């Protein structure tokens, strides 16, 4: 009985701030004027990092008001001992607001403003465990610095967000970051093991949005692109102007309809180079605006950021709609989407139609229709269950459908997820089951996962589950130790076991593993993973072993990430067992207020079982970032991929070079101007880099809304 009570109980913060109505709207200029005197305030912040549950170094006070059409926040951030850092090109002080306008305790919005004026917004998902910056809203902000403090004002129009009508209590969270001592403080208690959970936010009381009527968004895009391609027998130049229209209609504060007609989904930036030595394709993130908006609905539940042990069943992968082919994209004729949110129930419907795609005289892709339906019900405060169905059809005999069920139970840091799906690809049926657990019981942190994919499970045309026939299970459990003071912040050390049956093999591979993850209070940390055990793969039986060390921290007040991995495994690129080593480094440094330089690099080394080096492949990507202002930016990069035959370092040759420039200007809310240039060259037959293509583009997006 005690266990059942523990399962059903959800802790709720008792902190409440009352929202008062104002007839006079505050001026959004960074100066907290007299009108704010009538507002209720939040002031008793709690330190989250580096010293959990301690009193903050500096005081913070937040005020809240509303009028008929807007919600207002004001921060007064005192700086009695630590001078705020305002800087355009490096880490700086910032404040953020999170609101849950459905009081659903699982999702919300966040609005963040840096000291330099650079701002960010997005969704908070999975009860706060995932931040998704793809949502872009219309809101207004200002910041001003004084001798002993800085002040921030925000205005969030009610028509910018979705909210439940007649709901008078919303969830709310306030956060402040101090760069000088890397201090993070919240209004409500946030434990380091939990993270900032939406279910534990405070309460905005007396909410009464009074804006009524319809909210329309028209988002025309004008795009001009010039492509020059070099081929063996042809040197062609293509000029492609286009105009597209995206529309959004908020039918009610809870329901939204999106549509697009002949959208231009060309990508200004290319997907980064990745050397793939495994048997499965690499997952690429979605960047296209139509699919980004509302994607919080069309997804199965996940464990959140930093929980890489679990891959959700992705039976709808939006990059299959208008997918890339031969350096081009299958054209999309139109798309439409309807989403509706309530306090306990979310539903979404999406449809899209792609045109046929030909290469020369050959038809590569026929025209195709795509459809997705999602419904999700909230349970036990911050948990939920849902159903997702997706499909694609070119004709009655050429189709691919899938339907999936998922459920997640959450309690503080603990999560349990279970998912199942059925597929039908042209009459071939298959099934998949996926489950995971992340839980802290006392001081023991346990992580586990079970995934079973049948041989016939196939969502090739609509999803991303490429490992059909694979079955795997993982269990990792050990002590998690935290220190309230001192050099160390926390340490996790755990042994575990990993079992996998590769597709097409009847044998199970059993791998022992050890995970060690220490973090210091200064922000430095590392993750050491050791794997070893008998493995069956590609009709080969061998002893798999791997060691991986990833390290991160702050170098000259800037974040640095570096590490390396050694593995003995089957190399699918070369078709035999081989050793490989991988190294990486990523770092950016601010030269001054407006200019920063950076470097990301990788090094792949492969050698056979006799110790002979087969290949060394370095990748170096230097970049320069020039920030003219908070809304105007210029980025330049050059990505160089090299190759060394064997161990003959002097014979290293440059295999390819991709040079890119991107100028972006956010001149009005959600209105952008982009100017881009991309030049790609590869090693030719004469031993020198030969041009492959050059792309120049100008793109403008302008928001009309009323």
**Bridge partners of residue 241, in order along the sequence:** 224
φ, ψ at 109 (rounded to 5°): -110, 155
Report the range of poorest mean pLDDT among 266-280, 386-400, 449-463, 649-663.
266-280
Band of pLDDT at residue 264, cut at 50, 70 and 90: low
- Pick from 195-199, 289-293, 394-398, 690-694: least confident: 289-293
pLDDT at 287 over 70: no
For position 401, what pLDDT does the model report? Answer: 96
With CA atoms as reference, report the closest residue to 681 among 694, 672, 671: 694
Are 67 and 25 in contact by the 8 Å Cβ rule? The answer is: yes
Residue 499 has pLDDT above 80, yes or no: yes
pLDDT, position 473:
96
Give the per-residue pLDDT at 279: 56
Region 2-31 average pLDDT: 72
Residue 474 has pLDDT above 50, yes or no: yes
Q: Residue 400 pLDDT > 90, yes or no?
A: yes
Tell me whether strands 632-645 and 613-629 are parallel, antiparallel or unpaired.
antiparallel
Query: Does 580 have pLDDT greater than 60?
Result: yes
Q: Which CATH architecture has domain 10-205?
A: Sandwich (2.60)
Predicted local confidence at residue 2, as pLDDT: 33
CB 430 within 8 A of CB 468: yes
Domain ranges of the chain: 10-205, 278-469
Nearby residues of 517 by Cβ (< 8 Å), 6 or more positions away: 491, 492, 493, 525, 526, 527, 528
Sign of CA dihedral 284, 286, 287, 288: positive
Nearest 5°: the CA angle 341, 345, 346 is 45
Give phi and psi for 37, each to the nearest 5. Answer: -65, -25
Give the residue-averaged pLDDT of 571-592.
Answer: 88
Mean pLDDT across the chain = 88
The pLDDT of residue 5 is above 60: no
Which pLDDT does position 269 carry in this prediction?
Answer: 39
Q: Pick the more confident residue, 580 or 285.
A: 580
Asked whether residue 4 carries a pLDDT value surpassing 70, the answer given is no
- Across the range 592-606, mean pLDDT stands at 94
In sequence order, the 6+-apart residues with CB closer than 8 A to the CB of 284 are 271, 319
Q: Is the pLDDT of residue 350 over 90?
A: yes
The pLDDT of residue 6 is 35
- Give this prediction's pTM: 0.87
- E strand spans, 253-299: 255-261
- Residue 659: band (very low, low, confident or very high) from pLDDT cuts 50, 70, 90: very high
**What was the pLDDT predicted at 543?**
94
Q: Residue 640: its pLDDT value, please?
A: 93
Q: Is pLDDT at 266 greater than 60 in this prediction?
A: no
325 pLDDT exceeds 80?
A: no
pLDDT over threshold 60, residue 3 = no
The stretch 178-192 carries a mean pLDDT of 94
Any idea which of 245-254, 266-275, 431-440, 650-659 has the lowest mean pLDDT? Answer: 266-275
Mean pLDDT for 620-648 is 92
Question: Which of 499, 544, 491, 545 lies closest to 519 in space, CA to CA?
Answer: 491
Quote the tokens at residue 510.
Answer: 């059993």
- Residue 306 confidence (pLDDT): 65
Rounded Cα gap, residues 543 and 546, in angstroms: 10
CB crowding 598-622: b at 16 or more within 10 Å, else e: bebbbbbbbbeeeeebbbbbbbebe
Predicted pLDDT of residue 231: 66
pLDDT digits (tens, 9 = 90+) for 412-456: 889 999 999 999 999 999 999 999 999 998 899 999 999 999 999
The residue among 310, 334, 311 whose CA lies nearest residue 321 is: 334
How do residues 109-161 score in pLDDT, each as one tens digit? Answer: 999 999 999 999 998 988 988 888 878 889 999 999 999 999 999 999 998 89
What kind and span of H or E run contains 292? helix 289-292
**Span 521-530, average pLDDT:** 94
What pLDDT does residue 212 have? 65
685 contacts: CB under 8 Å, gap ≥ 6: none
Q: How confident is the model at residue 262 (pLDDT cuts 50, 70, 90)?
A: confident
Per-residue model confidence (pLDDT) at position 1: 34
- Range from 93-97, 324-328, 463-467, 566-570 carrying the lowest mean pLDDT: 324-328
Residue 25 has pLDDT above 90, yes or no: yes
Residues forming beta bridges with residue 500, ordered by sequence position: 472, 509
Strands (E), 232-321: 235-250, 255-261
> 540 falls in which pLDDT band (50, 70, 90)?
confident
pLDDT at 261: 85
Q: What is the pLDDT of residue 276?
A: 53
C-alpha–C-alpha distance, residues 201 and 11, integer Å: 10
Q: Is the pLDDT of residue 232 over 90?
A: no
Which residues, other chains included, contact 3 with Cβ-Cβ below 8 Å and sequence gap of 6+?
A: none
Considering only 74-88, 131-145, 522-536, which range has the smallest mean pLDDT? 131-145
């Amino acid at each position: 009985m005690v266990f059942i009570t523990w399962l059903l109980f959800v802790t709720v913060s008792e902190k409440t701030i009352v929202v008062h109505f104002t007839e006079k709207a505050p001026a959004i200029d960074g100066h907290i004027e007299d009108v704010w005197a009538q507002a209720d305030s939040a002031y008793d912040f709690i330190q989250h990092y580096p010293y959990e549950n301690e009193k903050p170094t500096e005081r913070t006070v937040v005020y809240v008001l509303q009028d008929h059409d807007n919600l207002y926040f004001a921060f007064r951030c005192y700086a009695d001992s630590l001078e705020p850092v305002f800087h355009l090109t490096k880490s700086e002080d910032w404040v953020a607001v999170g609101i849950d306008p459905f009081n659903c305790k699982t999702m919300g919005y966040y609005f963040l403003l840096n000291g330099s004026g650079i701002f960010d917004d997005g969704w908070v998902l999975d009860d706060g465990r995932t931040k998704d910056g793809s949502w872009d809203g219309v809101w207004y902000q200002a910041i001003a610095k004084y001798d002993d403090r800085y002040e921030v004002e925000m205005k969030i129009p009610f028509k910018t967000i979705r909210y439940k009508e007649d709901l008078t209590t919303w969830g709310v969270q306030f956060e402040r970051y101090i760069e000088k001592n890397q201090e993070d403080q919240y209004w409500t208690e946030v434990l380091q093991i939990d993270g900032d959970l939406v279910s534990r936010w405070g309460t905005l009381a007396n909410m009464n949005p009074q804006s009524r009527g319809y909210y329309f968004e028209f988002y025309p895009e004008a795009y001009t692109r010039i492509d020059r391609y070099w081929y063996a027998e042809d040197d062609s130049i293509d000029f492609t102007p286009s105009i597209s229209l995206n529309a959004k209609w908020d039918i009610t504060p809870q329901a939204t309809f999106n549509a697009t007609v002949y959208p231009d989904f060309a990508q200004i930036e290319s997907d980064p180079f990745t050397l793939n030595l495994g048997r499965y394709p690499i997952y690429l993130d979605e960047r296209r605006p139509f699919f980004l908006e509302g994607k919080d609905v069309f997804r199965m539940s996940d464990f959140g950021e930093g929980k890489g042990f679990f891959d959700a069943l992705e039976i709808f992968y939006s990059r299959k709609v208008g997918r890339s082919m031969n350096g081009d994209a299958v054209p999309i004729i139109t798309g439409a989407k309807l989403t509706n949110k309530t306090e306990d129930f979310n539903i979404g419907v999406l449809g899209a139609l792609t045109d046929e795609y030909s290469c020369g005289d050959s038809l590569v892709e026929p025209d195709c229709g795509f459809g997705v339906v999602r419904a999700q019900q909230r349970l036990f405060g911050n948990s939920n269950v849902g159903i997702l169905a997706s499909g694609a059809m070119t004709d009655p005999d050429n189709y691919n459908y899938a339907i999936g069920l998922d459920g997640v139970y959450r309690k503080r840091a603990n999560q349990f997820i279970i998912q199942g799906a059925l597929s039908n690809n042209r009459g071939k049926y298959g099934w998949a089951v996926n489950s995971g657990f992340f839980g802290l019981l006392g001081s023991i942190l346990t992580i586990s996962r079970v995934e079973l994919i049948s041989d016939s499970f196939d969502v090739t045309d609509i999803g991303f589950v490429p490992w059909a026939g694979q079955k795997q299970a993982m269990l990792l459990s050990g002590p998690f130790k935290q220190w309230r003071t001192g050099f160390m912040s926390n340490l996790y050390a755990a042994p575990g076991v990993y079992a996998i049956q590769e597709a097409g093999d009847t044998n199970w591979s059993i791998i022992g593993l050890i995970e060690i993850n220490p973090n210091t209070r200064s922000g430095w940390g590392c993750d050491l993973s050791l794997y070893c055990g008998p493995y069956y793969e590609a009709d080969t039986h061998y002893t798999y072993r791997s060691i991986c060390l990833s390290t991160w921290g702050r170098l000259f007040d800037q974040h640095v990430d570096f590490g390396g991995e050694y593995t003995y495994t089957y190399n699918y690129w070369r078709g035999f067992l081989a050793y490989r080593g991988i190294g990486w480094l990523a770092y950016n440094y601010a030269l001054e207020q407006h200019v920063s330089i950076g470097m990301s690099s990788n090094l792949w080394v492969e050698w056979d079982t006799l110790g002979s080096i087969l290949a060394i492949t370095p990748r170096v990507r230097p970049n320069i970032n020039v920030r003219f202002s908070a809304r105007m930016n210029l980025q330049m990069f050059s990505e160089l991929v090299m190759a060394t035959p064997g161990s003959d370092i002097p014979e290293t040759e440059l295999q390819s070079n991709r040079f890119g420039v991107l100028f972006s200007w956010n001149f009005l809310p959600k209105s952008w101007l982009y100017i881009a240039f991309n030049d790609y060259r590869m090693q030719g037959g004469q031993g020198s880099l030969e041009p492959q293509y050059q792309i120049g583009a100008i793109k403008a997006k302008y928001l009309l809304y009323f």
